[in-house]
Amino acid sequence: MRYSRAPRTALALASVVALTLAAAGCAKEDEGSEWAASHKPTVDLPDLKGQKLQVAAVWTGQEEENFRKVLDEFEKRTGAKVEFVPTGDNVATYIGSKIEGGSPPDVAMMPQVGVLRQFAKKGWLKPLGKEALAESKKNFSKGWRDLGSYDGKQYGVYFKAANKSLIWYNAQAYKDAGVGEAQDWKAFVKDAQTLSDSGVDPVSVGGADGWTLTDWFENVYLSQAGPEMYDKLATHEITWKDPSVTKALKTLAELWGQRHLLAGGNKGALQTDFPKSVTQTYGDLASPEAALVFEADFVGVNIEGDTKARIGKDAQVYPFPKVGAKPPVVTGGDAAAVLKNTKGAQALATFLASQDAAGIWAAEGGFISPNKELDLAAYPNQPQREIAKALIDAGDDFRFDMSDQAPASFGGTKGEGEWKALQDFLANPKDIKGTQQALEKAAAKAYEK
């Protein structure tokens, strides 16, 4: 079964993201607050006074604070009390243990399509109710609704989306080294060497968080092998021993196999978590620990919250360089799923499917919604409006994060499956055959369940 289709608009989306984020530092901020002040509710919610709900999500820090503002509005409009519970990176393990222990949250934000469908198959999730389905159909394209569905029923609403094909760089480090925005992989590796020669470690890799390594692989693989092969690998129609995987790992080894191109070397990269991978690129602008970091648009949240760098000035961004015929565009997202079929849980799912909820976080920045009815004026500046518009204009033509489509034990569990195999590969990029064997062994076990 295939979950998404090839992006005819991939090049346009990548180009828009690069140009608009580069201009972000010059944009007027807080315009989204003006929209929020004048916005009138578009969805009716029931009176839930006296009811208590629990929502679980992976978000921490600024993202948690912004989501809390969404929940605050739900409380204000319904009278319910909502407790936010952080899950940690192992969302599937956390939620699974709560379900088996008899105390699941009312609603969980699911970042992995594979986990959502796995839980739906087990009967752990409740189908969306009539109101939530109606709101979802009104506000989301069929492709996003299908991602939240299993066996003909919709279980999830994709509240938050992400573009996971971006290179963020320290503008001063690039200027000092005399390098620009690489258009292809060969130029990217060459620029990394030039940056190293200039005296700064080129690439910051958050290898302590295995999910960042899956994103590296997916971007290389999608561009190099193409969308049809990407779909086949995502659903295990081909094995991880396939020659296309060998080729992608060899390509990654051109970078990961040269320790001087990684901040702190391979060992240092494996000890660096995602937030640190951002701060060591922008924490000390005069003398950075790294020149660039690869990851999604949410890197901007870490830049703004944890550093003094200004996006558009100190922090610039461009699309992941093409490895094959076209540059890749990989998307991700978080879906709200109902675990308790109560009036309150279904009402919260309905609210999260509305433009009312999406607009609250959009106004805060660091957020993209696949909600096609959300007024672009909700975003705080023109660059973010352009990024959101590009996502909406893409319609159903996108590729979703491969590891997030896989069963949790393979694509979404710390210290296991793809995360562990790629961490071992980062530690020893010469062992391509062993890496493929480990990947296939873990995948075969996970997909047969």
| pLDDT computed for residue 82 by the predictor | 98
The pLDDT score that the predictor gives to residue 241 is 98
pLDDT at 10 over 60: no
CA angle 293, 295, 300 (to 5 degrees): 85
pLDDT digits (tens, 9 = 90+) for 270-321: 999 999 999 999 999 989 999 999 998 888 888 988 999 988 889 998 889 9
Please tell me the predicted confidence (pLDDT) of residue 17. Answer: 53
Burial call 206-241: b when 16+ CB within 10 Å, e when fewer: bbbbbbbbbbbbbbbbbbbbebebbbbbbbbebebe
Residue 81 pLDDT > 60, yes or no? yes
What pLDDT is stored for residue 11 in this prediction? 44
Contact criterion met (CB below 8 Å) for 144 and 317: no
Residue 301's pLDDT is 82
pLDDT, tens only, 346-388: 999 999 999 999 999 999 988 899 999 999 999 987 767 877 8
The CATH code for residues 10-163+330-400 is 3.40.190.10
Q: Length of the chain in residues, anyone?
A: 449
Alpha-carbon Rg of the chain, whole angstroms?
Answer: 21
Say which range, 144-148, 297-301, 386-390, 409-413, has the weakest mean pLDDT. Answer: 386-390
d(CA 117, CA 110): 10
Q: Residue 32: which pLDDT band, with cuts at 50, 70 and 90?
A: low
Query: Above 60 in pLDDT, residue 20?
Result: no
pLDDT of residue 29: 52
Confidence of residue 397 (pLDDT cuts 50, 70, 90): low
pLDDT value, residue 5: 31
Q: What integer pLDDT is reported at residue 7 of this predicted model? A: 35
pLDDT of residue 8: 35
Q: pLDDT at residue 428 above 90?
A: yes
Say what the pLDDT of residue 73 is: 97
Mean pLDDT of 215-236: 96
Segment 162-191 shows an average pLDDT of 95
| 394-417: average pLDDT | 86
Structure confidence at residue 3 as a pLDDT band (50, 70, 90): very low
Element (H, E) at 158: strand 156-163
Using DSSP, state whether 33 is helix, strand or coil: helix
Q: Name the token pair of 411.
A: 């694509």
Looking at every residue in the chain, the average pLDDT score rounds to 90
Confidence of residue 182 (pLDDT cuts 50, 70, 90): very high
The confidence band for 398, taking pLDDT boundaries of 50, 70 and 90, is: confident
| C-alpha to C-alpha distance for 362 and 368, rounded to whole angstroms | 7
Numbered ranges of CATH 3.40.190.10 in the chain: 10-163+330-400, 166-319
Would residue 284 be called left, alpha or beta, if left means φ above 0 and alpha means ψ between -120 and 50 degrees? beta
CA gap 3, 117 in Å, rounded:
11
The DSSP 8-state label assigned to residue 46 in this structure reads: -
Please check the confidence at residue 90 and state whether its pLDDT lies above 90: no
Question: Using CA of residue 177, residue 178, residue 182, residue 184, what is the dihedral sign?
Answer: negative
- Determine how β-strand 292-294 pairs with β-strand 166-170: antiparallel
Residues 6+ apart with CB under 8 A from 298: 63, 162, 366
**Over the stretch 226-272, which tens digit does the pLDDT of each residue have?**
999 999 999 999 999 999 999 999 999 999 999 999 999 999 999 99
Residue 203 has pLDDT above 50, yes or no: yes
Torsion-angle region of 154 (φ positive above 0: left; ψ -120 to 50: alpha; else: beta): beta
User: For residues 27-45, b (16+ Cβ closer than 10 Å) or e, as one string?
Assistant: beeebbeebbeebeeebeb
Tell me the average pLDDT across 412-420: 93
148 three-state secondary structure: coil
C-alpha torsion 98→148→368→294, nearest 10 = 80
CATH architecture of 166-319: 3-Layer(aba) Sandwich (3.40)
Tell me the residue type at 187.
Answer: A
366/64 Cα distance (integer angstroms): 12
